[in-house]
Amino acid sequence: MRHMNNRLLWDESWIINYSDILPPTEQLDMNVSSLNLIVATSKNYASLSSNKAGPELGVYKKELYAMKRLHKPSFKLTKQVRIEVRQIRRLYHPNLALFVGACVKAPNIVILSRYYSKGNLANTLQAKDIPISWPFKFSFANDIISGLSYLHAQEIQHGRLKIQNCLVDDRWSIRVSDFAIPSLRSLNTASDVNGLSHKSCEVWKAPEGETLSLPADVFSYGIIIIQIATRCDLAMDEIDNLATIQMEWKNLLMRNQLGSVEDRCPCPGAIGALVESCLAMEPSNRPNAAVIKKQLRKLNPYKLNAVDLMMAMMEKYSKTLEVMVAERTKDLIAEKQRTDELLHGLSIINNTLVDIVSNVDCISCEAMLPKQVADDLRMGRPMNADTFETCTVYFSDIVGFTVLSGKFSAMEVVVFLNKLYSCFDTIIDKHDVYKVETIGDAYMVVSGVPIRNGNKHAVNIANMALDLLHESKTFKIPNMPNESLKIRIGLHTGPVCAGVVGIKMPRYCLFGDTVNTASRMESHGEAYKIHMSDETKNCLLMECNENDYHLIERGFIDVKGKGPMRTWWLEGKRKNTNITYLPGQIS
Ligand SMILES: Nc1nc2c(ncn2[C@@H]2O[C@H](COP(=O)(O)OP(=O)(O)OP(=O)(O)O)[C@@H](O)[C@H]2O)c(=O)[nH]1
Ligand SMILES: [Mg+2]
């Protein structure tokens, strides 16, 4: 054992050649990825605090370290220094900063320690945007007293215990730094030499003047507790002498008690008593570190260290996040459904709006698409115009609408059209048809587009037309009980081209002569009648028997822009057809 001790005493593996330490900037080409990150983090922390000075950094064997430069023109590596170095090399505690080695050739006397990237506790406490709840405050206080009682258990006095020497590691644990090796440290530090030592560095000093003693460290610890509890840099706030500190700090703590729940100390009285005992004027009246550690553990209702706290916090956040994600997903689904309804033209509210808008001659505002077309658009599939060999187009119009609407106010017209077309929309839902649009009092429907249905489109449209006509006969015009609604219906069958037009309000439109002819069938028709072209009649008969529908030939009529056309009246549908369809039938 003795032999081992001797070997460690003379072992010089801790001595570092100053020229082997490189400035961090020269390391950029070394591809130490974490290095830049660490340096960046340290900059962030420095800027958070008024104490902008971080440690001098150096890279040794590709690792980044904190350098503490001691200024002396000459230095002798005495046996005492070796004994102290052996002592510090034997120390190991999770709350103590790690000693790495030292350069001992004057004028470059440097102590190298592990670099803790999160800065010192002063920075952390002063950064008001970092929320520090009482569980964290207890954790910090507990870490420091654990490190200190470990040192004291080995009769090692710290001598400079202050929040600048309490470093925050990656796990938010505190590492007490700059302890031991007093013969080395007795050399002036940079801050001492440059007169940078701020008043805040002095508040920690015990009133007896003697700093290298165990009770002096306890006094310093009392000051740290005040700083942690109040997050107040005592000297900065001009309460830099002991008498004012003792008068003021409880007020500061009490002020926090009025703040948010997180800011409130769970045991202000007990914390006050602990601090007072640490700050006792008579050093021998101060408790020792081991006792404080025990007291603090008793006082701490949370019993969690920083890692546990972080885990608990993360768990809480991830739960909150899950709830938020679930809520957002629900909103998203609801929104998608709403969009679908709008796009598919199934929303009654939307219909109302469209009708309102169309009534004021703004026909381009209708924003509806067939479901599969909307789905294609949503999935980003290209939308090309499509040609349909055959389909049947329906047009209807209210006879004398202009005269009728002259008897109403604008709002009454809107209410009337909305009532009528809501009713029509419900009826057309029962047929395999697609409503293309309503333009003022005109109503346009197609079958066979966008879903092809062979030759069934004429039957579908004929049945629907009979239904709509039937409905219109019983329809009550609001506020006009004696007035009946006269509609004129026109049908034509033929090819169309269909596609989406527009970007802002995309609409599914039909193009081609079939549309114009269907419109002409309507305009050349008569009130209460369904007027159809020869093409529609032929297509109708392809799907049913001659007698299923009651058709009356109108003969040839001269259709504007088309010349003579043979047309038909669809009067009704006979009973007992195999088509399960009742309204609109005639006996
Ligand atoms: N981020 C970070 N800061 C450090 C580290 N070591 C020291 N510092 C900070 O660097 C600054 C200068 O450190 P020191 O030269 O030890 O000076 P000091 O701690 O203010 O005073 P003494 O230790 O009493 O000389 C202080 O703000 C320290 O808190 C470290 O490993 N990481
Ligand atoms: Mg220090």
Q: What is the DSSP string of 99-120?
A: EEEEEEETTEEEEEEE--TT-B
- Which ligand 1 atom minimizes the distance to the CA of 66? 31
pTM: 0.57
Q: Is 116 in the pocket of ligand 1 (CB under 6 A)?
A: yes
> In the 8-state DSSP scheme, what is residue 547?
T
For ligand 1, atom 15, name the residue with the nearest CA. Answer: 68
Q: Is 160 in the pocket of ligand 1 (CB under 6 A)?
A: yes
> For 288, phi and psi rounded to 5 degrees?
-90, 165
Contact between 175 and 167 under an 8 Å Cβ cutoff? The reply is yes
For ligand 1, atom 25, name the residue with the nearest CA. Answer: 189
Q: Is 54 in the pocket of ligand 1 (CB under 6 A)?
A: yes
Smallest-distance ligand from the CA of 185:
1
With 0-12 CB in 10 A as exposed, 13-18 as middle and 19+ as buried, what is 368? buried
> In the 8-state DSSP scheme, what is residue 41?
H
Q: Is 220 in the pocket of ligand 1 (CB under 6 A)?
A: no
- Which ligand 1 atom minimizes the distance to the CA of 117? 1
State the angle between helix axes of 134-153 and 214-230 in degrees (0 to 180), rounded to the nearest 10: 170
Q: Distance, CA 121 to ligand 1 centroid (Å)?
A: 10
Q: Is 53 in the pocket of ligand 1 (CB under 6 A)?
A: yes
CA distance 84 to 184: 9
Contact between 160 and 212 under an 8 Å Cβ cutoff? The reply is no
For a ligand 1 pocket test, name from 60, 98, 165 the mutation site with the most ligand atoms within 8 angstroms of its C-beta: 165
Residue 530 has a pLDDT of: 96
> In the 8-state DSSP scheme, what is residue 76?
-
Question: Which tokens sit at 144?
Answer: 């420091």
Q: Distance, CA 113 to ligand 2 centroid (Å)?
A: 11
- Which ligand 1 atom minimizes the distance to the CA of 192? 25
Question: Which tokens sit at 537?
Answer: 């009649």
DSSP per-residue codes, 293-340: HHHHHHH-SS---HHHHHHHHHHHHHHHHHHHHHHHHHHHHHHHHHHH
Q: Is 68 in the pocket of ligand 1 (CB under 6 A)?
A: yes
Direct distance between the N- and C-terminal alpha carbons of the chain, in angstroms, rounded to an integer? 120
- Which ligand 1 atom minimizes the distance to the CA of 122? 29
Beta-sheet pairing, 529-533 with 487-501: parallel
For ligand 1, atom 18, name the residue with the nearest CA. Answer: 164
Residue 587 has a pLDDT of: 36
Question: Which tokens sit at 262?
Answer: 């997180």
- Which ligand 1 atom minimizes the distance to the CA of 113? 31
Tell me which residues have their CB within 5 A of the ion that is ligand 2.
165, 178
Smallest-distance ligand from the CA of 120:
1
For ligand 1, atom 32, name the residue with the nearest CA. Answer: 116
Q: Distance, CA 76 to ligand 2 centroid (Å)?
A: 23
Q: Is 115 in the pocket of ligand 1 (CB under 6 A)?
A: yes
Q: Is 169 in the pocket of ligand 1 (CB under 6 A)?
A: no
For a ligand 1 pocket test, name from 164, 176, 181 the mutation site with the most ligand atoms within 8 angstroms of its C-beta: 164
Residue 113 has a pLDDT of: 97
Q: Is 69 in the pocket of ligand 1 (CB under 6 A)?
A: no
pLDDT tens, per residue, the chain with 587 residues: 677 778 888 999 999 999 999 998 744 444 443 443 444 344 433 333 333 468 999 999 999 999 999 988 888 999 999 999 999 999 999 999 999 999 999 899 999 999 998 899 999 998 887 888 899 999 999 999 999 999 999 999 999 999 999 999 988 899 999 999 998 887 665 555 454 445 445 789 999 987 789 999 999 999 999 999 988 877 655 555 777 777 788 887 887 777 777 778 899 889 999 999 999 999 999 999 999 999 999 999 887 777 777 777 777 777 777 777 888 888 888 777 766 666 665 444 444 444 443 443 333 333 467 777 777 766 666 667 889 999 999 999 998 888 878 888 888 888 888 888 888 989 998 999 999 988 888 899 999 999 999 999 999 999 999 999 998 888 888 777 777 888 999 999 999 999 887 766 778 889 999 999 999 999 999 999 999 999 999 999 998 888 889 999 999 999 988 889 999 999 998 765 544 444 444 43
Residue 473 has a pLDDT of: 86
Q: Is 123 in the pocket of ligand 1 (CB under 6 A)?
A: no
Q: Is 529 in the pocket of ligand 1 (CB under 6 A)?
A: no
Residue 306 has a pLDDT of: 75
Element (H, E) at 251: helix 242-257
Q: Give the C-alpha distances (Å, rounded to integers) separating 202 from 160, 175, 335, 407, 541.
A: 10, 20, 62, 93, 106
Q: Is 120 in the pocket of ligand 1 (CB under 6 A)?
A: yes
Smallest-distance ligand from the CA of 56:
1
Question: Which tokens sit at 151?
Answer: 């040192």
Contact between 391 and 448 under an 8 Å Cβ cutoff? The reply is yes
Q: Is 368 in the pocket of ligand 1 (CB under 6 A)?
A: no
For ligand 1, atom 3, name the residue with the nearest CA. Answer: 119
Instruction: Give residue 430's Cα distance to chain centre.
Output: 44
Q: Is 126 in the pocket of ligand 1 (CB under 6 A)?
A: no
Q: Is 164 in the pocket of ligand 1 (CB under 6 A)?
A: yes
| Tokens 């740290």 found at | 224
DSSP per-residue codes, 173-209: -EEE-S-S-HHHHTSEEHHHHTT---GGGTTTS-TTS
Smallest-distance ligand from the CA of 159:
1
CA distance 122 to 233: 7
Q: Is 167 in the pocket of ligand 1 (CB under 6 A)?
A: yes
pLDDT, one tens digit per residue, over 319-338 is: 777 777 888 888 888 777 76
Buried/exposed code over 103-115 (b: 16+ C-beta within 10 A; e: otherwise)? bbeeebbbbbbbb
